[in-house]
Amino acid sequence: MQIANSREELAQITQQWSDEKLEWAFVPTMGALHQGHLTLVKEALKHYPRVIVSVFVNPTQFDRADDLDKYPRRPKEDAEMLRKAGAHALFLPSVEVMYPNGTNEDRMPDLAGLDTKYEGAARPGHFDGVVQIVRRLVQAVDPKAMFMGQKDAQQVAILKRAALQEFWSVEIQVVPTVREASGLAMSSRNGQLSPQGVDIAATISMVLAKAEKEWKAGGRPRTIEEKGKKTLLSAGFKPEYFDFIDSVTFEPLPDVPESEQHVEKPLIVTVAWLEGVRLIDNWPLY
């Protein structure tokens, strides 16, 4: 696996692939890799002859300085995991390489308010930072496709919209959330839970699956949402939201049964706190 720290080294690698007429897919990450990330790499390898991964802890998507400081950084372990997974290249830039003229100058696409709800409301400015860095990474890497996880459904919706608005020449491929055998969505945050907390956390996916059943059986979104939140509460969580939404606009679904919905890609999104850890999950209904 080749490693590039600068834009020049990156360009040499992609130029060689281009000369060999090989297309490449890109997996952007902030490192501290887990099975979820490796699944994105494996999925990309199924469809493209070359796969490049970036590991960059992007300062502009953190709304709190202590969160940025605490973010795990283990580039050596990440590189080893990626090599074993079969990635062809790793782009490992510094902040100076990604932001040579500072971080403040970028314009934002019109995100139609997508960036101000749910995760955007919880972390003001977060999605601006995500759009800013992904735009820069896509420009630098210039891949045919970019592979992202369904786990971050709002990030996916925002980047798809930004890509359309700004004519990014990259196809965004969304890979289903990777789950533990218990159903718990994989996340680096799970490591902050006690062993008992990990067991309880599996309840989230059970509640989501039950909500889907109730929806398919003719239930109305608002009623199922209330039930879902109550179940989470009685299992020991502090639910923040549990909502049926349109996964493209992140607007709430109308309160009518499935048979009367016209939304093409409905999704249940939820955040629930357990042992002081903010757990996020979502459940596509399409």
Catalytic machinery residues: 37
CA–CA distance from 77 to each of 69, 140, 230 (Å)? 19, 24, 41
Question: What is the residue-wise DSSP string for the chain?
Answer: -EEE-SHHHHHHHHHHHHHTT--EEEEEE-SS--HHHHHHHHHHHHH-SEEEEEE---GGG-S-HHHHHHS---HHHHHHHHHHHT-SEEE---HHHH-TT-SS-------TTGGGSTHHHHSTTHHHHHHHHHHHHHHHH--SEEEEEGGGHHHHHHHHHHHHHHT-S-EEEEEPPPB-TTSPBP-GGGGGS-HHHHHHHTHHHHHHHHHHHHHHTT--HHHHHHHHHHHHHHTT-EEEEEEEEETTT-PBPPSS-GGG---SSEEEEEEEEETTEEEEEEEE--
Of 161 and 229, the one with the shorter C-beta distance to ligand PAF is: 161
- Minimum CB distance to ligand PAF, residue 45 (Å): 18
- Contact characters 172-211, ligand PAF, x per CB under 6 A: ----------------------------------------
| Contact mark string toward ligand PAF, 143..162, x via CB under 6 A | ---------x--x-------
Among 4-12, 23-31, 74-82, 166-174, which window interacts with ligand PAF (CB under 6 A)?
23-31
Q: What single-letter amino acid sits at 17? A: W
Pick the stretch among 5-13, 25-33, 93-101, 238-246 that binds ligand PAF (CB under 6 A).
25-33
Residue 236 Cα to chain centre, angstroms: 26
Of residues 28 and 266, the one with the C-beta less far from ligand PAF: 28
Is residue 221 within the footprint of ligand PAF (CB under 6 A)? no
How many chain residues bind ligand PAF (CB under 6 A)?
A: 10
Is there binding between residue 13 and ligand PAF (CB under 6 A)? no
If one asks whether residue 239 binds ligand PAF (CB under 6 A), the answer comes out as: no
Map residues 240-259 to x or -, x wherever contact with ligand PAF holds by CB under 6 A.
Answer: --------------------
Q: Which is nearer to ligand PAF, 39 or 61 (CB)?
A: 61
Residues 30-69 that bind ligand PAF (CB under 6 A): 30, 58, 61
CB of 188 to ligand PAF, least distance (A): 10
Site membership for ligand PAF, residue 134 (CB under 6 A): yes
Q: Which residues bind ligand PAF (CB under 6 A)?
A: 28-30, 58, 61, 130, 133-134, 152, 155
